[in-house]
Structure 1
């Protein structure tokens, strides 16, 4: 055996015959991460921090670099050194913002070629949306400007003055005062990709909240919260959430105000938005919800969904039921006996579909699919959120990393793969148009060219005898 090994080494060194690459390829070969198999499977350079479908490409953000791969084949298209990366734009016009931590500026790259489309040398923070990109730059600690850009534009749409930025506002998508999404095991929180920009955004600066109209850039409010208050900007309203400790419990009240006039437009008492987590009632968390809706617990102990714009009750769970996911259209609810997941329509609670699921199953809603993660056995299931029709059923322990109009990216460790709708399921319906069927910013604000005559939840566009838009 020793003589044979020496002979192989000599042959490899002289270039006559080298078996080692083939042997290493066999040792390093990856097992399929799902059954049925994915369209393609690739091993990336490091464990992904985020994965986003950007048009015909997949953007993989890692700790010190970002890479793009073909959505069709998984082939690497380009790679760049970067500490952070974020995708802006829709399915037809995406761009990738990249930058380095603690270094001013960023670059906007074409997702297919990696070519720099625009470079900025002064911005300290970037926010990426489906139809807008925002950046902030500071000339002095108390003299900053916020600029809005079309994702592929070369000149800002507007600029607004801010008296400084919070010390936590840097790199990509730093925290603003909005909603906090429900978490789901094995489903990435940002699997849906960039969302349309809300009509109003709340910027925390030095203990105050500056409310900016994203259509015009006008700062419509500059408010300091009270001692027992937490402020949030949701659905075109500024919410003042009060939590006061009385008789050993927290007593809550919500006051929603029109940011243009400061007048109260709706109020609810006794509704717990889960912003406080102990009897002392300090509010350290944003309210739970998504886009224009809020999730909380009513005075009767049942979970409910509120419209942030007008305070309407859009859904009230039965006793023992649990909300797993919500957006502006639907809610996914686990039944009280923990045996099924129910898809319900907001605004009336109409049941759209019901599916058996284990008591530990998690779920998330995206514009293109409702994703359910089950264990024992491990499965990822994607459904049409409107009808419950199966788009894909996978036997896998991988995570759902990104969801697009035609399929989703799953991953485990450094392995990622793409599965198209229809794998192991019925023929899927046609994907939604660009925008994913999501409502526009609404009558209280938005970006130029976005239809806003339907209200923040498109409630004025309600059509059809069967309750469908």
Structure 2
């Protein structure tokens, strides 16, 4: 057969495509929706599969479990879904959202960028409970909501609310707050968490309000009592200082460069009297990076405890209230996560992690992991992210009992009393404690992680080793 006399495959494909387009345009037959549905078909987020899995409109930037709802924040929208079924409860346009309160008493503060004011939304119904038109910044906690409004650049009002209250608990005047304090939960001078891959930093939901707030205003730090609203101190740190508020104390970290290294001194004072409470020299709180000793970061820690490194390179956990060493790691031991109750560290050989109870100085549990495993402590469970194969594991912080153990490459977005929310791209799913990967029952919705009083009362979970946050 002569060259070129065979059928033209490209011609037939072009003819078939034109025919399909004509049929779709005339409404006779349209295969494109089915093709798009097939291309966009979601795969299971975990193995075993989640209790439920849904696809949202955009990629979630955060998620929070609020009572019986999951609040999902996306770039320009906020939505809530049923915790039991994943069905969408409501959706609205907003640029930011933050949950205050706990359980069924939770509320959601929502607002728009560069627009003053916010609305408080009921998580279950989406109804507006309270509306503000003047506030520039909002801080949300389990037991408190704070907002700041500035009539002038040199004078602002800081107001505290019960999360579901309609009457202010207190209001106080403070010097003008700089332009960086806008939107939801702007930075305050305190501790910063140890980051964990594949787990959102705020996965555990809102924390209790600290006893003292350190508000950065220009080159100064305002120290405010969160219970009364009293402005206790207005401090200007020195050039070599880092000033933070932790555990009810004002902590000044001094870093001095000498002999090619940094020398650190940490001094804690009582904010009411200005008297020194404790002092440590030679403990590196990881506020500076490099021999220049410029302190650009707040100390690592969690709530009322600090993480430091001693001269012998061993990591330690310090009580911010009285300066006690609550935990000192062995040589080569790596701290992975810490809060007021526990410290979880990788053993020197890298083959396992173990949890230490800070108050009792006893090891609660240990388990084998790969050397690259990550750990995140939350009020309800310890999340372990393991590899080879990729796994998400949730264990009871008290005894290491497995609550969830699944294969998954998804990210942990939120952790609640009864399970965790995971996500990958636009897909979001819920794993209930004891329902996937393990038969161990999880804690009840009102259970306290420490086995004491219900969450929110003055039990062991409400304020660190000395209960300094308890009301």
| TM-score relative to the length of structure 1 | 0.91
Is residue 2:231 matched to residue 1:219? yes
Q: Which residue of 2 aligns with 1:446?
A: none
Q: Which residue of 2 aligns with 1:199?
A: 211
Q: Which residue of 1 aligns with 2:153?
A: 141
Q: Which of 157, 182, 187 lines up with 2:194 in the alignment?
A: 182
Tell me whether 348-357 or 57-66 shows the greater mean CA deviation.
Answer: 348-357
Compared with structure 1, are the counterparts of its residues 182 and 11 closer, same or farther at alpha carbon in structure 2 (3 Å cutoff)? Answer: closer
Q: Once the two structures are superposed, what CA deviation does each residue of 1:51-84 show, in whole Å capped at 9, x if it has no partner? A: 1111111111111111111111111111111111
Q: Which of 52, 55, 69 lines up with 1:40 in the alignment?
A: 52
Compared with structure 1, are the counterparts of its residues 102 and 460 closer, same or farther at alpha carbon in structure 2 (3 Å cutoff)? Answer: closer
Q: Which residue of 1 aligns with 2:9?
A: none
How far apart, in 2, do the equivalents of 1:177 and 1:229 lie? 13
Q: Once the two structures are superposed, what CA deviation does each residue of 1:335-375 show, in whole Å capped at 9, x if it has no partner? A: 10100011111135311111001111100000100001012
Q: Is the 8 Å Cα contact of residues 305 and 339 (structure 2) preserved in structure 1?
A: yes
Q: How does 1:151-300 map to 2 (within 5 A)?
A: 151-300=163-312
How far apart, in 2, do the equivalents of 1:300 and 1:267 lie? 18
Compared with structure 1, are the counterparts of its residues 436 and 207 closer, same or farther at alpha carbon in structure 2 (3 Å cutoff)? Answer: farther
Tell me whether 348-357 or 426-435 shows the greater mean CA deviation.
Answer: 426-435
Is residue 2:438 matched to residue 1:431? no
How far apart, in 2, do the equivalents of 1:320 and 1:39 lie? 40
Q: Which has the larger radius of gyration?
A: 2
Compared with structure 1, are the counterparts of its residues 453 and 24 closer, same or farther at alpha carbon in structure 2 (3 Å cutoff)? Answer: closer
Q: How does 1:285-434 map to 2 (within 5 A)?
A: 285-422=297-434, 423-431=436-444, 433=446
How far apart, in 1, do the equivalents of 2:152 and 2:23 lie? 67
Compared with structure 1, are the counterparts of its residues 431 and 273 closer, same or farther at alpha carbon in structure 2 (3 Å cutoff)? Answer: farther
Q: Is the 8 Å Cα contact of residues 91 and 434 (structure 1) preserved in structure 2?
A: no
Q: 1:92 aligns to what SS in structure 2?
A: helix
How far apart, in 2, do the equivalents of 1:180 and 1:118 lie? 31
Q: Is the 8 Å Cα contact of residues 191 and 298 (structure 2) preserved in structure 1?
A: yes
Segments of 5+ residues of structure 2 without an aligned counterpart are 1-11
How far apart, in 2, do the equivalents of 1:460 and 1:27 lie? 53
Q: Is the 8 Å Cα contact of residues 452 and 460 (structure 2) preserved in structure 1?
A: no
Q: Once the two structures are superposed, what CA deviation does each residue of 1:266-291 show, in whole Å capped at 9, x if it has no partner? A: 11111110001111111110000000
Q: 2:350 aligns to what SS in structure 1?
A: coil
Query: In the TM superposition, what is the alpha-carbon distance from 1:24 to its structure 2 partner?
Result: 4.0
Compared with structure 1, are the counterparts of its residues 42 and 272 closer, same or farther at alpha carbon in structure 2 (3 Å cutoff)? Answer: same
Compared with structure 1, are the counterparts of its residues 12 and 152 closer, same or farther at alpha carbon in structure 2 (3 Å cutoff)? Answer: same
Is residue 2:125 matched to residue 1:123? no
Is residue 2:81 matched to residue 1:63? no
Query: In the TM superposition, what is the alpha-carbon distance from 1:450 to its structure 2 partner?
Result: 6.1
How far apart, in 1, do the equivalents of 2:123 and 2:297 lie? 34
Q: How does 1:3-152 map to 2 (within 5 A)?
A: 21-22=33-34, 24-152=36-164
How far apart, in 1, do the equivalents of 2:445 and 2:377 lie? 14
Q: 2:204 aligns to what SS in structure 1?
A: coil
Q: 2:84 aligns to what SS in structure 1?
A: coil
Q: Is the 8 Å Cα contact of residues 127 and 173 (structure 1) preserved in structure 2?
A: yes
Q: 1:364 aligns to what SS in structure 2?
A: strand
Query: In the TM superposition, what is the alpha-carbon distance from 1:153 to its structure 2 partner?
Result: 0.7
Query: In the TM superposition, what is the alpha-carbon distance from 1:436 to its structure 2 partner?
Result: 5.0
Q: Once the two structures are superposed, what CA deviation does each residue of 1:289-320 show, in whole Å capped at 9, x if it has no partner? A: 00000001012210000000011100000000
Q: Is the 8 Å Cα contact of residues 176 and 201 (structure 1) preserved in structure 2?
A: yes
Q: 1:25 aligns to what SS in structure 2?
A: helix
Is residue 2:464 matched to residue 1:457? yes
Q: Which residue of 1 aligns with 2:8?
A: none
How far apart, in 2, do the equivalents of 1:452 and 1:232 lie? 26
| TM-score relative to the length of structure 2 | 0.91
Q: Which residue of 1 aligns with 2:7?
A: none
Compared with structure 1, are the counterparts of its residues 387 and 455 closer, same or farther at alpha carbon in structure 2 (3 Å cutoff)? Answer: closer
How far apart, in 2, do the equivalents of 1:127 and 1:43 lie? 30
Q: Is the 8 Å Cα contact of residues 139 and 186 (structure 2) preserved in structure 1?
A: yes
Segments of 5+ residues of structure 1 without an aligned counterpart are 441-448, 462-469
